[in-house]
A and B are shown apart, each in its own frame.
Chain A
């Protein structure tokens, strides 16, 4: 079974390529994007994406802006921020906007997998809760 469906967003092409291979090898379904707009586009198409690994600093639309758009359009999708520039302000802003967690490059693969797994679990839990709430609502209506 796939551990999680991941959208990996980073403007560094070699990083994305290698990371994709490594994540795939660890039973993650990975879709790659190299910019914020592309990530949003992919998210629109790939409905099964559970976690977005998002680089903060990218040319054009940066990670924070992309995060804001993702949360607006796909509120259930979890986001793990990943950057080479860890500042308190960026971390706080990211968490305020609903990011699941925050990691600094280069990150340990085990920690990343752990965070992604945690994020995917939370998304599934939330989806389950929503489904249960809808079932309950329908049941109550019928009763």
Chain B
């Protein structure tokens, strides 16, 4: 990847977008899948349980109704078989039997009647005036005469009130006759009316024509059609109870549970609104959606926040890497220049040495008698001295170049900081001169030596002096370098009266890559490296600045006990160069 690609704004936008997408994909997808799967399984289980419960309710009540009808039929069958037709044809006798039934079962039996094969009710006991009533054309009579017993649909009949009858057929002296009883519609209706499930569940009975045999709790006449197809459900599938879901006339979805009664003539239907039956499921679904939406929002927020933070950090790292690369290149360049300078310095020293020696030799010859009479002797001597002086100057320059280009020597040794600072000031002197900057020293005499790496100390103080020169290069000024001993430390202060450091920058001045110099001029590493070096020796580096008045960098280097306080900065015999 190219430098441009890794540092462009579009690269970070793309990186951020990809990271957000990845975080969202790996977080939200499993959440939705797991939630969906759990909800699906829960929905199926809940539906099965709800259906099973409804089926159980319908089956139980179907049994109750069947038992009720069978018992009523058995009651009148017992009556018909226990007593003779003559006995039952007596109204008073029949009245007694009706009272007995009503005493036994309450007002379930409304009346009793005996009907001969011509359809004439020969005896009647009940609240209506139906003695000698003719039923020969009645539907129920025709059907009852064709079987041993019969339970009719609900109908209005001669009395004009909804009721149904149960009838048994018997034979006496070759003639068929029927004992019939009217079942109280209200009592029968109560059996079904009491079936309630949830908020909306109720039950009713319809016949084959879809006519209601009991009164539904709610008005469902408008939705009658949805019940009709239940009557035609295949009975051969082994299932007694049928469960379907249908929309009613109001557009609401209902669960219908149906089972046949009266040998398939009637259908017991239990109806419940689907939303009522699955209210808990819908609540769970709603909570799942809310949880997923909230979770999704949280993930989105975190994805943006985290990605933003990571991308910001990556950008910062890239920026630092770029600066570091620049610094490495710069260091490499400096190292090459240093090596080159060292080579040139060495090569120059040899011819200079020869020149100086030749001048010395001429000087030696001039001391001989034959030259002493020469009128230009003094001029020769002056010229030779000048050659020697300039030779020494060349030596000083090359020495400083060599010192500067010397590779970092981390070995600790006794270093006399006064001497070191003088060397550095001399090295920076020319540059300061061009900037109209004067460098003044205020050294404490007999300053003890400190145990440090010479090259590292060179780096620290050269950096501080050069920074001061940089700050004042445009308009000139004065740099003061002071040394003093403070208890068990040596303190070196580099002050200048340049523009100073803004208060907001004082706290960050030693941070890596912090620079107030124009882009490309400073790496922001100089003071950070100084700080690291000074701290390594257990020292301190501080800065105080009053802009336009004085800015002072103060370096405290601890004195190590047991070391010689005599300064040894150079090998014996090497002249000090300033």
Contacts and interface: CB of A to CB of B under 8 A. Distances in A.
A60 interface: no
A8 B392 CA distance: 22
A104 B350 CA distance: 10
Interface residues of A, number: 29
B99 interface: no
A18 B406 contact: no
**What are the nearest 5 A-B pairs in CB distance?**
A84-B349, A91-B571, A106-B353, A105-B353, A106-B356
Interface in B374-411: 391-392, 395, 398-399, 402, 406, 409
Nearest to B346: A85
B371 interface: no
A3 interface: no
Interface of B: 342, 345-350, 352-358, 360-361, 364, 391-392, 395, 398-399, 402, 406, 409, 454, 571-575
A139 interface: no
A111 B573 CA distance: 9
Interface of B is mostly: helix
B354 A88 contact: no
Contact of A92 (B355, B364, B571): B571
Contact of B361 (A21, A84, A86, A105): A21
Given A102-B571, A106-B357, 14 more contacts: A12-B353, A15-B354, A22-B361, A22-B364, A84-B348, A84-B349, A88-B454, A92-B571, A101-B572, A102-B572, A104-B395, A104-B575, A105-B395, A106-B392
Contacts of B395: 104-106
Contact of A88 (B345, B349, B399, B571): B571
A2 interface: no
A96 to B, nearest CB: 11
Nearest to A24: B364
A85 B574 contact: no
Contacts of B392: 106
A102 B353 contact: no
Given A14-B354, A18-B357, A22-B357, A106 B391 contact: yes
29 contacts: A12-B350, A18-B358, A18-B360, A18-B361, A19-B357, A22-B360, A25-B364, A57-B346, A84-B345, A84-B348, A84-B350, A85-B402, A86-B574, A91-B571, A91-B574, A92-B571, A102-B572, A103-B574, A104-B574, A105-B350, A105-B353, A106-B352, A106-B356, A106-B391, A106-B395, A107-B353, A109-B360, A111-B573, A115-B573
Interface in A83-97: 84-89, 91-92, 95
Contact of A103 (B342, B356, B573): B573
Contacts of B347: 84
Contacts of A85: 342, 345-346, 349, 402
A87 B407 CA distance: 10
Interface of A: 12, 14-15, 18-19, 21-22, 25, 57, 84-89, 91-92, 95, 101-109, 111, 115
A42 to B, nearest CB: 21
A25 B366 CA distance: 12
Nearest to B455: A88
A35 to B, nearest CB: 15
A8 to B, nearest CB: 11
Contacts of A25: 364
Contacts of A95: 571-572
Contacts of B352: 105-106
A19 B355 CA distance: 11
Given A103-B574, A104-B574, A105-B349, A18 B354 contact: yes
Nearest to A95: B571
B403 to A, nearest CB: 9
Contacts of A101: 572-573
A89 B455 CA distance: 12
Contacts of A87: 402, 406
Contacts of A89: 409
Contacts of A21: 361, 364
Contacts of B571: 86, 88, 91-92, 95, 102
A105 B399 CA distance: 10
A110 to B, nearest CB: 10
A18 B360 CA distance: 9
A28 B559 CA distance: 46
Contact of B353 (A15, A22, A57): A15
A87 to B, nearest CB: 6
Contacts of B349: 84-85, 104-106
- Give the one of B353, B356, B575 with max A CB within 10 A: B353
B454 to A, nearest CB: 7
Contacts of B364: 21-22, 25
A22 B361 CA distance: 6
